[in-house]
Amino acid sequence: MSTKRALERTLADLEGFEEPRVDLEQYPTPADLAANLLHLADLQGDIAGRTVVDLGAGTGILAIGAALRRAGRAVGVERDVDALAVARRNASRVEPAVAVDWIRGDATRLPLCPDSPVTVVMNPPFGAQRGRRHADRAFLETAAEIGGVSYSIHNADSHDFVEAFAADEGGTVTHAFAAILDVGRQFPFHEEETRAIDVEVFRVEWDRSPDVEGESA
C-alpha cells in the first residue's frame, strides 16, 4: 500500500475539467481530500479487493485512487461525456497503470444491482446552484441501494441531513470528518481566485439485506 502522501502526489498530477459545467456542479475533488478519503476507506478494509463505485466520477480521481489502492474492481459512473474523456486519459497516464470501468449514465438511476455489497465513493453535486438544495440526496439514495458502505463529501452543514437520511434507510454514520475543498476560480460568477468550501466527509454503513427488492423472499 502506498503512503497517503504518495497517493496524493500521484492524484495531484491528474487533469481537471476542461470546461467545467456549472449545471452539473463540476468541481474537481482536490488531491489531498481524495487521498484522505481513500486512505481512511482503505484502512477500514473498504478498498483493497472490493468493488468500488465512484458516483459522479467527473475526472475520475476517486475511482483511479481506489484502483491504485488495489480495489478488486473500480467503476466510475458519470453523465458528462467530456468529463469521462478526461477520466479515461487520467486512468491511462497514471503510474502504475490501473484499470477502471467507466460508465456513462445517470448515477441516480443506476441499472445495477450488484450481488455483493460494494463500496461507494462520491463527491456529488451539493445542490448549491439555483436552489437545488440537497441534490446529493439522490446520490445517497443510490448509495443506500447498492452500497455496503459509502464515503461521501457534502456541504459542511449536512450533518443532520446525512444522519437523518441514513437512519431512515437503516444506515449508520460511523465516521465523519471536516475538510476544506479548495476550488480554483472556474466559473465567471466566482469573484475570488480560489475559494475554500467547508465540507464534511461521511462513512455510512448501509443495512443492505441479501434479498433484492422485487425478488420473492
In degrees, rounded to 5, the angle at the alpha carbon of residue 161 between the alpha carbons of residues 185 and 157 is: 40
For residues 36 and 172, which CB has a smaller minimum distance to ligand SAH in the complex? 36
Beta bridge partners of 74: 52
Cell of 150: 459509502
Decide: residue 197, CB within 10 A, 0-12 exposed, 13-18 middle, 19+ buried: middle
User: Is residue 76 a contact point for ligand SAH (CB under 6 A)?
Assistant: no
Q: Of the candidates 79, 88, 89, 159, which one interacts with ligand SAH according to CB under 6 A?
A: 79
Name the minimum Å distance from CB 138 to ligand SAH: 7
User: Is residue 78 a contact point for ligand SAH (CB under 6 A)?
Assistant: yes
For residues 167 and 185, which CB has a smaller minimum distance to ligand SAH in the complex? 185
> What is the rounded (10 degree) CA torsion for 122, 123, 126, 130?
-110
Q: Of the candidates 56, 147, 148, 171, which one interacts with ligand SAH according to CB under 6 A?
A: 56
- Which of 142, 140, 136, 84 is closest to 110 using CA atoms? 142
Q: Which stretch binds ligand SAH (CB under 6 A): 3-11, 106-114, 143-151, 162-170?
A: 106-114
User: Is residue 137 a contact point for ligand SAH (CB under 6 A)?
Assistant: no
Judged by DSSP in three states, 216 sits in coil
For residues 13 and 207, which CB has a smaller minimum distance to ligand SAH in the complex? 13
User: Is residue 29 a contact point for ligand SAH (CB under 6 A)?
Assistant: yes
> What is the rounded (10 degree) CA torsion for 123, 128, 129, 130?
130
Name the minimum Å distance from CB 23 to ligand SAH: 9
- By the criterion CB under 6 A, which residues form the site for ligand SAH? 24-29, 56-59, 61-62, 77-80, 83, 106-108, 123, 125
